[in-house]
């Protein structure tokens, strides 16, 4: 896939998420993830994981959101730059906030603030300050919450190009802190300005949030009838774009307000709406269970495709190399013996020239299947390229690996291929090398040693085994 195609997929993911089309975003993320894994493009992989995380979170699939967060952070640790790590802090906050682990949430946001300042990413910096303000408000530290929100507004104003909705989101936290501090005059001025902002015509979620906040302000002012109207507006808006989690909070507030007002009729209606919503949420959980199964299947399928060779179904070179590097690093500490067997079919070029490459591919597949049946669970067999295979054996001496190589050659020799009424016999050559008591710590070096031994087996007449001394 061309770089331009990957960029187009990335832009589509971001566009869909900004538009609030979360289920479509998830589907687009899977397309981007599959494409990114196929060509080992880290930016595409990271973009898919982080947008999957945010989208799953928004539709209530919390387990999948956390799976995507974990996948993002793991890939970011190995391949990400500082900007990717900054995004990682931003999304990791969701996990801590959901678990109500506010200390961990604040520590994550502090890391985001430090890195956001360093990189000059004022949009993420503003968002971090805003989230910090929200956590402090939940802890009833409204003065500190106001200070954080004001810093968030300063950062939002530094972001280029200017993004009014970024500033608006921070103002929600400023107003929330002012209400908590009982500075109702300042809060009223700000909330009235926000409720009437034409910007909200394009941002329904924020419009819902400001009416919800307005209801809270009016309750503080003991204007209960007006507060109920504000909550009714917020309820209708939340219903319009199916934000059930926000709607649940609004209905809870409506029920409590009706109880304070002694309005039995409205309270009954609010209670019924709340009960119906809980029923919907239970059905939503059932639907999410189906989504989860589908997600796990899709992720497993994508990972399997990314790690396997298209022709033989064995592991591909990339996965074999990466996994062996991990094993060798561990073995350098533990002293474990890691052995590489390099196996190469004899005379494939003659077979290809005589019968064609499609026939040659069928032979490679049969060899892969025959040899795979000879290795233990926990060992690794991958196609290195063409008709050459790499078998990586853990905790096995060279002597025992030689015995295993003999069984592999027997498996190859037992394959009988019929072509045009003629039965063809196959042979292979094998080279063996080990990690030299932990001195060899990369797949490249280990395979190179086995490949030298394989070359000696070819030069000595083929159909035999050589060990690298």
∠ CA(182), CA(183), CA(186), 5° rounding? 145
pLDDT (0 to 100) of residue 169: 94
pLDDT (0 to 100) of residue 297: 45
Whole-angstrom distance, CA of residue 373 vs CA of residue 245: 52
Query: Could you tell me if 53 and 59 are in contact, meaning their C-beta atoms sit under 8 angstroms apart?
Result: no
- Give the long-range contacts of residues 5-9, CB within 8 A, separation 24 or more: 5/35, 6/32, 6/35, 6/36, 6/39, 6/41, 6/43, 6/44, 9/35, 9/44
Tens of pLDDT along the chain (469 residues) come to 578 888 999 999 988 887 778 888 988 998 898 888 878 888 999 999 999 888 887 776 777 787 788 788 878 877 889 999 998 888 888 878 877 889 989 999 999 999 999 999 999 999 999 999 999 999 999 999 999 999 999 999 999 999 999 999 999 999 999 999 999 999 999 999 999 999 998 888 899 999 999 999 999 999 999 999 999 999 889 888 767 667 788 888 888 888 788 876 776 676 666 666 555 555 555 445 445 544 554 555 555 556 777 678 888 888 899 899 999 999 999 999 999 999 999 988 888 888 887 788 889 989 999 999 898 888 999 998 778 999 999 999 999 999 999 999 999 999 988 888 888 889 999 999 999 999 999 999 999 999 999 999 999 999 999 999 7
Is 387 catalytic? The answer is: yes
pLDDT (0 to 100) of residue 286: 44
Whether this model's pTM surpasses 0.75:
no
pLDDT (0 to 100) of residue 280: 57
Angstrom distances, CA of residue 362 to CA of 144, 319, 356, 455, 465 = 69, 23, 10, 24, 24
- Identify the active-site residue in 212, 387, 434, 451: 387
Tokens of 294: 């589908």
Give backbone dihedrals phi and psi of 21, rounded to 5 degrees, phi first: -90, 75
pLDDT (0 to 100) of residue 91: 80
pLDDT (0 to 100) of residue 327: 94
Q: Which sign, positive or negative, has the C-alpha torsion 318, 320, 326, 332?
A: negative
């Amino acid at each position: 896939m061309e770089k331009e195609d990957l960029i187009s997929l990335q832009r589509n993911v971001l566009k869909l998420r900004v538009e609030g089309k979360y289920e479509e975003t998830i589907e687009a993320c899977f397309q981007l993830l599959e494409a990114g894994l196929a060509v080992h493009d880290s930016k595409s992989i990271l973009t898919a994981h982080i947008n999957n995380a945010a989208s799953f979170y928004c539709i209530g699939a919390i387990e999948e959101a956390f799976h995507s967060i974990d996948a993002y952070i793991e890939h970011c640790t190995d391949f990400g730059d500082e900007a990717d790590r900054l995004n990682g802090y931003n999304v990791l906050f969701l996990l801590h906030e959901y678990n109500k682990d506010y200390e961990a949430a604040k520590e994550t946001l502090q890391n985001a603030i430090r890195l956001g300042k360093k990189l000059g990413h004022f949009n993420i910096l503003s968002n971090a300050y805003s989230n910090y303000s929200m956590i402090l408000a939940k802890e009833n530290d409204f003065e500190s919450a106001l200070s954080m929100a004001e810093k968030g507004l300063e950062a939002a104003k530094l972001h280029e190009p200017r993004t009014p909705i970024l500033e608006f989101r921070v103002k929600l936290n400023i107003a929330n802190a002012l209400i908590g501090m009982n500075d109702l005059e300042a809060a009223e001025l700000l909330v009235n300005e926000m409720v009437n902002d034409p910007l909200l015509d394009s941002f329904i979620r924020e419009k819902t949030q400001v009416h919800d906040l307005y209801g809270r302000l009016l309750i503080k002012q003991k204007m209960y009838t007006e507060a109920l109207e504000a909550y009714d507006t917020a309820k209708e808006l939340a219903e319009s774009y199916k934000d059930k989690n926000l709607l649940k909070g609004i209905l809870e507030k409506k029920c409590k307000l009706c109880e304070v007002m002694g309005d039995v009729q409205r309270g009954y209606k609010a209670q019924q709406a709340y009960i119906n919503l809980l029923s919907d949420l239970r059905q939503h959980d059932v639907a999410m269970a189906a989504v989860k199964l589908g997600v796990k299947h899709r992720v497993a399928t994508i990972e399997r495709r990314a790690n396997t060779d298209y022709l033989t179904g064995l592991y591909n070179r990339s996965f074999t190399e990466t996994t062996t590097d991990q094993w060798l690093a561990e073995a350098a500490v533990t002293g474990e013996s890691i052995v590489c067997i390099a196996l190469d079919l004899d005379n494939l070029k003659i077979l290809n020239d005589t019968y064609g490459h499609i026939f040659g591919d069928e032979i490679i597949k049969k060899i892969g299947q025959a040899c795979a049946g000879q290795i233990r669970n926990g060992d690794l067999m991958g196609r290195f390229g063409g008709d050459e295979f790499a078998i990586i054996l853990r905790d096995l001496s060279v002597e025992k690996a030689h015995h295993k190589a003999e069984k592999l050659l027997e498996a190859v020799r037992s394959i009988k291929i019929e072509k045009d009424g003629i039965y063809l016999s196959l042979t292979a050559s094998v080279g063996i090398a080990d990690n030299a008591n932990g001195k060899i710590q990369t797949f490249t070096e280990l395979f190179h040693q086995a490949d030298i031994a394989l070359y000696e087996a070819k030069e000595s007449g083929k159909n035999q085994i050589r060990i690298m001394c």
